[in-house]
Structure 1
């Protein structure tokens, strides 16, 4: 294997977390070894969040790739250079994708066809990715329009959704193979003579696969645990009655079973230790938002009308879908636990705290 970057060991402490390599990171498309046989690969993203961390594991006689980056020319070029350079001495033998989002699964099909390696995913993630890549119609379905109108979107907001084009998931995802190898919670994958356990989380996506190496206390966490940003937890038109925040908080409790001094290798930002502290922060942030929201719902509100309480800032047009999904996730959690009621009138859904005198509240006519 060609030489790879060495990250400086200059730990930084921030908000209860320790970053053993500080804020150092490899250049886009370059490998950096973070543990024996575990390599950090950073790829660019054309979004506000401008990068994703991928991981390459030494499998002895082959490489194992964990996540692939977005299907974009620059990312494909980086992969070509890697396959011809640092990874040329042995084949890619397995491609593992943590979940279905385009920055993770985007080049999985392309890389699978290029290398012949099998694709490993959980069933929920693979099937959802397959379904979404097949929906290439730019026309927004009527039930999707109704979903966002019920959440409080204006006609102008809906017009922007139309202008962006609906079937755009596939723009960032190369054609997936017909078949895959299924990952399940608790599966053991032997990679380079070491046993990695599949740890499945949920909430951010249906069956998000993390990888835990107990012998070295390493967790490849994907988007399930991030150090400085919070993973989006949303209700989507594909499953409008879901309770993803309930799934997310349950997953946090399951992840607490891992050692607190585990080195977490996240999909965004830098590797860190302090897993339990970060899980406390993630749970605490959502629980605080839930309490604020429950108080705010003394007045009936749509999901969009809950934005100031949940986010405390103006939501830009390109954030509307994610913000709406997050708001609906918090409202669904409260509703599932009997803390709020809801009703639809004229296609608009409003929520209010249980026990509120809705008839006397401002906005009551729309919610009664």
Structure 2
């Protein structure tokens, strides 16, 4: 699933921090911009509101000493993305081989072409274990009918019959954005130190947006590839899904951000998956965490009268939610509601029709 509501950020109440952007414009698909010695910025097309995803090439060496590139994130699997990679390999990346593919997390815009690239260059996928296994699990749903648990989950959130039928028709689409995954991987774990070319990169794991999201931080180059864990202008989707209806991903996400702030210095250049590279990591983390904390306060206030999950969109989002965003908005609203439930700040009651109603405790 794509990161859908990243462009539907929580309602801002405080001014955004004044981040700085050292590059006037980004690369065109298939081209590259040097962001540091041996580190190139490329973009792959996505379409839709996000338009593109940033991917990164880090100068590396093959086992036999040849110069090559380690790729970080890959774009969604489409003919357009494949052509952009072919152009980049032949041009901006100088015809050098890919030594390995790092993937920050399992969403199709990040891992979609990993199988294509690893097979093309006979190299290894590097990813955290939970991201790899979750991706395989979701890809296995391709072509399945929507399970009864999922239908009950969305009815409980307040979906009407038309929305449920649309969900039935669209279910199982995750795998369509993926080239067939590799059958093996090299595991990334939090705190790993990995030499890529001339520099050591440290793995910094977060969660909430996805189960075990890996950022890559190079202290010597003062760079952090942040994936979707920290974005400069949009807020990552943090949602509850039918597979874990009582989950508390918002707590995971905010705790991860605070942990990253404590480990990674503020002087890094952040290389995000969407928007442009920026300086101001700590200010951005403070703004993201504060925005969700303010959203939780507003949500608790609106629960003075019982509400369904679909009744609180206006409290959390700054735009109207249409059918295309209904699932993601519902998931993010439930993440906020579950946060309140877990802390005893709200209670939930299910009516005779199977619909959940929430009110402040």
* TM-score in same-fold range (> 0.5): yes
Match of 2:140 among 130, 134, 143: 134
Name the counterpart of 1:21: 23
Match of 2:110 among 85, 96, 104: 104
Equivalences for 1:55-204 in 2 at 5 Å? 55-60=56-61, 61-163=67-169, 165-204=170-209
Match of 2:305 among 265, 284, 299: 299
Distance 1:238 1:48 in 2: 27
Distance 2:84 2:267 in 1: 33
Relative to the length of structure 2, the TM-score reads: 0.92
Equivalences for 1:207-218 in 2 at 5 Å? 207-218=212-223
Partner SS for 2:58: strand
Distance 2:255 2:107 in 1: 21
Name the counterpart of 1:234: 239
Distance 1:221 1:82 in 2: 22
1:88: Cα distance to partner?
Answer: 4.4
CA distances 1:295-330 after superposition (whole Å, capped 9, x unpaired)? 111111111011121124321110001100100000
1:159: Cα distance to partner?
Answer: 1.7
Name the counterpart of 2:53: 52
CA distances 1:154-176 after superposition (whole Å, capped 9, x unpaired)? 1111122123x211001101110
Name the counterpart of 1:362: none
Name the counterpart of 1:366: none
Name the counterpart of 1:351: 358
Equivalences for 1:239-318 in 2 at 5 Å? 239-257=244-262, 258-318=264-324
CA distances 1:161-212 after superposition (whole Å, capped 9, x unpaired)? 123x211001101110111110000001101121000000111000000000
Name the counterpart of 1:8: none
Distance 1:276 1:87 in 2: 32
Name the counterpart of 2:347: 341
Partner SS for 1:28: coil
Give 5+ residue unaligned stretches, structure 1. 1-13, 355-368
CA distances 1:234-257 after superposition (whole Å, capped 9, x unpaired)? 001111111000001101111112
After TM superposition, the structure 1 stretch with the greater mean CA deviation from structure 2, 24-33 or 66-75, is 24-33
Structure having the higher Rg: 1
Partner SS for 2:332: helix
Using CA pairs under 8 Å that are at least 6 residues apart, name the structure with larger relative contact order, 1 or 2. Answer: 2
Distance 1:111 1:125 in 2: 18
1:112: Cα distance to partner?
Answer: 1.0
Partner SS for 2:131: helix
Distance 1:82 1:153 in 2: 44
Relative to the length of structure 1, the TM-score reads: 0.90
1:138: Cα distance to partner?
Answer: 4.7
1:266: Cα distance to partner?
Answer: 0.3
Is 2:223 aligned against 1:221?
Answer: no
Is 2:44 aligned against 1:43?
Answer: yes
User: Is residue 68–residue 97 contact of structure 1 (8 Å, CA) maintained in 2?
Assistant: yes
CA distances 1:122-145 after superposition (whole Å, capped 9, x unpaired)? 011000111111111252211111
Distance 1:242 1:222 in 2: 22
Partner SS for 1:245: helix
RMSD: 1.2
Partner SS for 1:190: strand
User: Is residue 17–residue 287 contact of structure 2 (8 Å, CA) maintained in 1?
Assistant: no
Name the counterpart of 2:3: none
User: Is residue 235–residue 325 contact of structure 1 (8 Å, CA) maintained in 2?
Assistant: yes
Give 5+ residue unaligned stretches, structure 2. 1-15, 62-66
